[in-house]
Structures are given as C-alpha cells and as structure tokens.
Amino acid sequence: MAKQNSSTGISALYQEAIRDPEKFWLEAASQVHWFKPPSYALSKPGKVESEGSEQTEKRHTADWFADGQLNACYSALDYHVEQGHGEQTAIIYESPVTGVSQKITYANLLFHVSQFAGALAAKGLTKGDRVLIYMPMIPQAVVAMLACARLGLIHSVVFGGFAANELATRIDDAEPKAVIAASCGVEVKRIIDYKALLNKALKLSQHTPEFQVIYQRPQQTAKLDQPRDIDWNDFIDKAESADCVPVKSTDPLYILYTSGTTGKPKGVIRDTGGYCVALQWSMRAIYNVVPGDVYWAASDIGWVVGHSYIVYGPLLNRNTTILYEGKPVGTPDASAFWRIIAKHRVKVLFTAPTAIRAIKKEDPAGDLVRQGDFDLTSLSALFLAGERSDPDTLHWAQTQLNVPVIDHWWQTETGWSICANCLGVEALPVVDGSPTMPVPGYELFVVDKGGQKLSKGSVGALVIKTPLPPGTFTGLWNDEKRFEESYFSSYPGYYETGDAGYIDENGYVFVMSRTDDIINVAGHRLSTGAIEQVIAGHEDIAECAVIGKSCALKGEIPLALIVLNCQTQNPLEQIQRACVQMVREKLGAVYSFKTSVPVRALPKTRSGKVLRATMKQIAQKQAYSIPATIDDPKILDEIEIALDRLN
C-alpha cells in the first residue's frame, strides 16, 4: 500500500484524529500485531491501576490501548518471518571506519535476538528489569535492544563513548541489573576505549549491576574482570532461544535520557503499544515507505532518532534499515551519503541539517555528487530534523538531489513527528523554514507568557494540547515531580515544547528557536532563528548561530558566529558587511544586527544540536559547564578566545 488513507487529504485526516481519536487510533492499531487486540484506544487522564500498587493519578498523559497486549520484538521480527519474509534483508551494516559491509536477514536477526534473549533469561532477568546498553553503531547493539524487548525488559541505551561521569548518573538513575557494552568504538582517527569508560563509571556510581556483557571488537579487545564481566560469545554459548513475553501496551519499552542534560538526567519513558502504533503509522503516512523499501536514518542508536527510525520503526514496517558507522564527511569524503544511497538503492534518507551543512561546507558546488556518477534515482525524499533547517541548506540539498527536502519537527519526548509533510497521505508544497503542519494527533497552539492563544503570525511559545497522542513519553523515570514542572506547569492543559515560533495564515508552522533563544532588543522580542535564516543564505556561509549579547543601551543585541565554506575566497570584512545588509533589508533595522565573528566550527552535541545556550554564557562572561554530549570541547575554548577579542 503506497498511501495511507490516500483518498483522504491530510486536513480531513487531521480533523478526524482530533474529532474522534478513538476511531482514528484504533484503526491505526489494527496495522500492528497484538497478542490481545485493544478494545479501546484512549484511557483519559485520571485514576488508573498500576501493577502491585494502589490507584495513582495520571494528570497529563493518556494510557493508549491499555487493555491490549503485544511484544515489540515479535511485531518487528517474528511476525515477518512467520509471514514468509525471513530472507528479506532487515539490516544493512555499513561501517566505513572499519571497512565492513554486511547484510542481515530478518530470519538471521531473529535467531541472534532470540539467542541473546535466552542468555539474558538464563541469568534471571525478567519483565520490568532494566538493562543499560553502551555500544557503538554495530549490529550487536540492535540485537541487545530487541532481546530486551523480547523479554519485556526495559532497555536504556546510552550514546557510545559518553563520558564516565554521565554514564554513572544514568546507571544510578535506571539501576540496571545488567550492562551490555562493546570493548571499543571506532572513529576516523581514533579508538575510544568503551570498557575503560565503563569501568570508571562503575567506580563513580552508587548502583552496581549484577553483570556486564562485553562484545570484543577486533580493533581493540578489553581486559575482562571476572566474574562480573562476561565475553559476548561466552554469554550466548549454549543459550537456548527465548520466546517473546507478552506485555501490556502501557508497559515501558525503554528509558532514554535526553541529550545535553546536566546534573540529574531526565529519563524519558516510552510505552510499548502506543509507540509501536505511532511508528507503524508514521513510516507509511509521513515517510511514504512500504514493506520492502530501503530506509536510512543517518543518526545513532543513542538518540531518539535511532530508537524510532533506525531500529523499531523500519523493522515494524518490514523495511530494510541501514546501520551506518561513519560520518557525513571524512569517511572517506563528502560523498559518503551519496555512495550509500546509490549502493543500496535507498528510498528515503533521514538526517540532521547539520550533516547536510557539513557536506555543503566541504563541497559547496556539489561537485562530488556529479563527479562520483552516483545513481540516486532510487531516492524519493530527504527528511531533516534535529535542528531547524534553514532555507539555504534545504535549497542546496534540493538542487543536488532533485527530490523533495522535508523539514520535520519532533523531540526526544514526543518520539515521532509533531509537524511534518505527510508524503504518504498528501504531499503539500514545501515552504521555506517550515516543517509544514501538525501531524494528525497533535493539537498545536502558539501562546504568550500568560498562556493566551496568539493570532496567526505572532511569535510565542509552541504548546500541544493534552493528552498527547500515542508514542509520546508517559513520564520521567523516578521523577514525576520534574515531569510536571518541566513540561506541564507553565501552561495548564498543554505540553510545553520549549520551542518558540508561529503559525501563518495557511496553517504552516514555523519553529524559530528555543523559547530561551528569543532576545529582547530595546523592548522588541525577536527570534534569533530569523536572523540565522537570513545569514545562512549568504553563499560564503556554511552555517551560523545567533545569540543574544548584553547591551547597556538596548538590553540585548544579536551576535552571529559564522563558519565559512572551505572554498570561500571573498574577504571576511566583505562577507560580514553583506550579512549586516541582508538582515537589515529582510528583517529591518529593529533587529540591530551589526556583529559577526568567524569561527572554525560551531560547538554541537554528538547528535548535531548547536550549543547556543553555552555560547551565550560565554558571550555574557558567565560561568558555564562543558556539556557531556559535546562533540569537540576544544571548540568552546576557541569561541571563548574569539569573543574575548571582540570585547
């Protein structure tokens, strides 16, 4: 089936989901395998029973498909094999950093997952126990995730190579019975000793897991500390395959800690049934991929994109998913993405705008696309998310690939798209700077600080009416108070996204910045994202970030940090003057933009998010901590020096 509800336009489908969520989501749930199908979709907030305890109050989230039973692993693997698709490729593992290319069928993946699940069960792990997974982008990481789901265990994947102290806080919060890790991670120019980081984390943590399973990579083997450390191969040796354990729809599938958190981490809880239904629906309705298509989310399993669209979403939909251990540039060059699309006939690529900017910086004219003679005719669309996609990046990608480039907006907390161009329902015109419209199930509004709804075109806080649709988070692990205060206290009856933006007259949503990135210039609340969008349009600018800097006269003024394209030949002063003029012409003098500072690169998390808040602290000469998720800490030192020179 190429289209989901193809006879119904997206507007009508959206209204149906708001008007009758019961009917809409039960129909979507029928596409997922259930051991016990749900008899109703939505259990509204109120008194609910939880296993082994008294009734508790659920104030903000709904229980979706609460009387249904299923297993995410069964739906992603067993069901497809039973239907005769065992020989279809489930995973294509591409690792340019190790030179390995491998295809794994659904039947083969099921065998390894069942075997690993059997080994976990033999160690006494049962439904509801936590398992922390600390691995790079290798097939064994997917095996570990699905094996946990198979037994009803709650997995918590921590981004590979995460600092020891941050890993320790997650061990203490999740209190896992077991840790599954690899001996090392492999990058372009270095080996990361995962086992050493894990050892240090275990010394720092208060909680002690019962055992660790270590997958030994040939690039660097680890010394195992007996008896707590167990070699992966020894662990599965003689293990009997385990069957799937039926779980309630509302039972947790995983805990995922939000990127960039400091201090006590925020462990987002994802349920099983609602998540499976939302992902299955989104694969066809949003991305327009059908069973058998090759789908590639160029992200990492340590992030929410990896959970939703490297592992669970594609496998639930019987797609072939690509597991990529490499970079957009440097493995070996800026044509890496195009090479893999051509090699494996990828239909849809999903990546971050940061990745496209990195490619554009190295190859601004797109010479590598053409000179490489890559056959990209299989590609039907490029989806971008993770950072706001500026029009220049979007246009560059459209020019090179000659396919629709779709910006869509979502968060770790939501698990899937809040706003998107639903290509599998009705492809709407792409509008620069907009992730299009809310996806069916999300009632989105723009409000002021007092919670009053704003008119079309007015910038304010973007909020979503509760209860949230299936697949979104159901709480924070061991922290109901923080769940309330962080997301629902500011605007009663609404989920606070933390993003600011507006909705235009045609219903298109524009996400301009985080709410704390709105700056006050002489009494005018202005979006730094609007300035970034203009500056990014300069032909010599690879990427930029705009922050607010204190000003005695105007309160705050915008300051741009710019990264130049590698092939730029124009003088810096000329580029800076042109940026000032562009902002004045397109946004007006009220923005008071006058200053830009060239930097080698922007500081980012490993998932590609620009650390604007940290740069603002540096600009304001405030104390700041180096985020645990930062990709290259040295960049902050360089930015501090550059801003000191400015002062």
Strands 475-476 and 460-465: unpaired
Average pLDDT over residues 69-78: 98
Work out the angle between the directed axes of helices 10-19 and 21-29 (0-180°, nearest 10): 110
**Domain annotation for the chain: domains and CATH numbers:** 10-326+408-503 (3.40.50.12780), 522-646 (3.30.300.30)
* Neighbouring C-beta atoms of residue 566, cutoff 10 Å: 12
**pLDDT tier at 523, thresholds 50, 70, 90:** low
Predicted confidence (pLDDT) at residue 414 exceeds the cutoff of 60: yes
Query: How far apart (Å, rounded) are the C-alpha atoms in residues 217 and 95?
Result: 13
Q: What is the pTM of this model?
A: 0.84
Span 145-193, pLDDT tens digits: 999 999 999 999 998 877 788 899 999 999 999 999 999 999 988 899 9
Q: What is the DSSP letter of 240?
A: P
Nearest 5 degrees, angle CA 584-CA 590-CA 591?
65
Q: Are 161 and 192 in contact (CB under 8 A)?
A: yes
521 pLDDT higher than 80: no
User: pLDDT band at residue 45, thresholds of 50, 70 and 90?
Assistant: very low
Q: How confident is the model at residue 342 (pLDDT cuts 50, 70, 90)?
A: very high
Q: What angle do CA 116, 117, 119 make, to 5 degrees?
A: 65
Nearest to 108 by CA among 135, 77, 137, 146: 77
pLDDT(120) > 70: yes
| Residue-wise pLDDT tens digits, 547-569 | 888 876 777 889 999 999 988 88
Quote the CA–CA distance of 321 and 90 in Å, as a whole number.
6
Give the per-residue pLDDT at 353.
87
Range from 290-299, 600-609, 632-641 that averages highest in pLDDT: 290-299
- Give the C-alpha separation, 615 to 548, whole Å: 9
Instruction: Using CA atoms of 361, 365, 370, 375 in order, give the dihedral in degrees to the nearest 10.
Output: 50
**Of 135-139, 203-207, 432-436, 583-587, minimum mean pLDDT range:** 583-587
Residues across the chain: 647
First-residue to last-residue Cα distance in the chain: 60
Q: What letter represents residue 527's amino acid?
A: S
pLDDT at 142 exceeding the cut of 80: yes
Band (611; pLDDT cuts 50, 70, 90) = confident
Instruction: Note whether 551 and 647 are within 8 A (CB).
Output: no
Please, are residues 95 and 326 in contact by the beta-carbon 8 Å criterion? yes
- Look at 27-36, 119-128, 274-283, 588-597 and tell me which has the smallest mean pLDDT: 588-597
Cα gap 299→165, rounded to integer Å: 24
CA 418 to chain centre: 12
| pLDDT top residue among 114 and 449 | 114
Q: How confident is the model at residue 518 (pLDDT cuts 50, 70, 90)?
A: low
Residue showing tokens 């998932």 = 607
321 compared with 569, residue with greater pLDDT: 321
The residues near 80 (Cβ < 8 Å, ≥ 6 apart) are 86, 88, 106, 318
What are the residues whose beta carbons fall under 8 Å from the beta carbon of 598, sequence distance 6 or more?
561, 562, 563, 564, 572, 642
> Which of 636, 584, 588 has the alpha carbon at shortest distance from 610?
636
pLDDT at residue number 59: 57
Contact 579, 541 (CB under 8 A): yes
Amino acid at 14: Y
Q: If residue 353 lies in a helix (H) or strand (E), which one and from where to where?
A: helix 353-362
Residue 393 has what pLDDT?
Answer: 87
Average pLDDT, the chain: 90
- Distance in angstroms (rounded) separating the CA atoms of residues 535 and 390: 9
Q: What is the dihedral of CA 144, 150, 151, 153, to 10 degrees?
A: 60
Which token pair is 392? 């220049």
Tokens representing 217? 């990579």
In the chain, DSSP finds a helix count (H) and a strand count (E) of 21, 34
Lowest-pLDDT range, 339-348, 436-445, 517-526? Answer: 517-526
Per mean pLDDT, which range of 333-342, 397-406, 510-519, 614-623 is the poorest?
Answer: 510-519
Only one residue has tokens 């020019």, namely 399
Confidence (pLDDT) at 245 = 98
The pLDDT of residue 224 is 97
Pairing outcome for strands 130-134 and 154-157: parallel
